[in-house]
Amino acid sequence: MTPVPNRSPSPWRRLLLTLLGLALLALVVHTVFGEHGYLALARQREELKRLEQEIDRLEEENRRLAEEVQTLKSDPRAIERVAREQLKMARPGEKIITLPPEEPPAAESESRSKEKP
């Protein structure tokens, strides 16, 4: 057997391998970071999950409001409750006393510290 002489690759072959390597690198970068790449897909999945949760929340709120509408249409006591609580209405002879809303504990301590010189 004759030994094969140790030849270095021709410049054209080296250029071709370099171009193929760069093309492969560009393809990988585009697949990961491109407009429709892996990272964009991950962001879209997160957005989809958030929107599905928002839809679930809105459907639940819609169901609750529809139930409240049905109750207000059929129950006079519910109408009276809303009139009293939200519209501050009273029966003849009744007096309504409205108290100011409570301050949160942190706000109370801040207001007290501002009062002291």
Neighbouring residues of 71: CB distance < 8 A, sequence distance ≥ 6: 78
Q: The tokens of 17 are what?
A: 């391998």
Rounded mean pLDDT, 57-71: 97
Question: From the CB of residue 83, how many other CB atoms can be counted at a distance below 10 Å?
Answer: 13
Residue 71 class from Cβ within 10 Å (0-12 exposed, 13-18 middle, 19+ buried)? middle
DSSP code at position 96? -
Residue 105 pLDDT > 70:
yes
DSSP code at position 83? H
Pairwise CA distance, residues 94 & 89, whole Å = 9
**Counting every residue, how long is the chain?**
117
Which residue has better confidence, 54 or 82? Answer: 54
Q: Model confidence at 16, in pLDDT bands (50, 70, 90)?
A: very high
What's the whole-number average pLDDT of the chain? 85
Q: How many H helices and E strands in the chain?
A: 4, 0
Q: Model confidence at 69, in pLDDT bands (50, 70, 90)?
A: very high
Q: Where are the domains of the chain?
A: 16-91
Pseudo-torsion of CA 56, 59, 65, 67, nearest 10°?
-100
DSSP code at position 8? P
